[in-house]
Amino acid sequence: MNKNPLTTSFTKSVLTILISTTLVACGGSSSDTEKTIEQAVTPPTTTELTVNELGISAVPDELKATYSTALNFDRYTKIDTPNGDVIHIIAQNEIMPNQIVRARGILQHYLTDYPGSVYGADKSDVANKMAENGAVLLLLNGVDDGTNAGAELDGQPLYYGEMQVEGHSWYITQDYQHRDAAFEEILHLVHDYGIGIDQGEEYDGVLPEYQAEIRAAQVTALSGQLWAWAERENWLADLTAENSLSQEYLASVIDTYYGLWGASDGDYGMWGGYIAKTRDDMATTDPEGAEMMNNKFFHPYLTYNARIDESFVGDFSLIFNQNLSYTNHAQYLKDVTLTGSKDSNVVVNQLDNNITGNAGINTVIFVGQAAQYQITKENGVIKVQDLQDDRDGTNTLNAVEKLQFSDTIIEVSSL
């Protein structure tokens, strides 16, 4: 991946529209573990931009010379970093709004503080270094077939055909015709531009100790035929030449860690190139890789708010169900927003979920009987606390109409 020399941040103005997402890390309350990374769209003084409620704008004038309409770039969002700089996200004209929001959410997820972890308790330096190094995420039309001229620009490419959205048919079916590559490609951006790559000076990162652990696990995995062991000689030679072995190994680990290969055929992850197919597999088949994930930098669940695609109808489950292939991945979600107007529901998991309904009739589904929960309502917000440990947690609900328990359904309007 090439560095982007563009590191200019926009001047703050009264026109700045902030979409600040509170990032609450696991293991504590919002009061003592939260960190806010502002997602802001700051219109440049030369142009008044239309900014929608999702924090997506037209491409600012300062970027148009490079990321032009002739190359089909037409929308923009960003993450402001703690040092006042910015990480740019620039999209071409066929990218769906929810794909843009999800890509930004995954990047934000990687940069969310993980209190108590070894390397991720404060990720400000990683975010700042990414901006300093000119990190740019490019959301490109089509697929990676060599025909998109936008891919020749400085930036990390991520293609339409490999960006899933929760609730969309690609996500629900998990047939790998449009596999979810967003976690891998956005990870590369964070790894290259923020964490840093050893054995070369082209990427100066801020976590050399963690990179040393990643490299050590990669060496063990390659020598032990846990990763990239079959018919990959030419690919490995290319990765070695460009010093990308540790990046690609870490991507395999991350994909498995977040459940992206659990629904695939066969026994392995990453198209059969990684020994572990699920997180549980990793603990025994690649223990060094598992240890690299254990309280080091990456959260054990997904911290972004997943916008469920407006096409979805039915029960979206946050509990693993072997009959629902998408739940290999969805089991690590905790916050979801239903979009559109179709009647759709959410089955909660144990992760203290925040659930927002859409314009339809929405039901939140719990495992136990109603008497086993404490239900409160204040200013239109419903809080449902499971009184049994390790089951449904505490759920904060907005704009939902019904609560379904194993023995009854409660109309929210009656509370």
Tell me the pTM: 0.87
What would the pLDDT profile of 182-214 be if each residue is shown by its tens digit?
Answer: 999 999 999 999 999 998 777 789 999 999 999
pLDDT at 156: 98
229-240 as b/e, with b when 16 or more CB fall inside 10 Å? beeeeeebeebe
pLDDT at 69: 97
For the chain, list residues with pLDDT below 50: 1-48
DSSP 212-238: HHHHHHHHHHHHTTSBS-SS-HHHHHH
pLDDT at 199: 83
Decide the pairing of beta strands 156-159 and 394-398: unpaired
pLDDT at 37: 38
**What is the distance, to the nearest Å, from the Cα of residue 370 to the centroid of all Cα atoms in its chain?**
33
pLDDT at 50: 66
pLDDT at 200: 76
User: Which of 360, 379, 280, 279 has its CA nearest to residue 316?
Assistant: 360
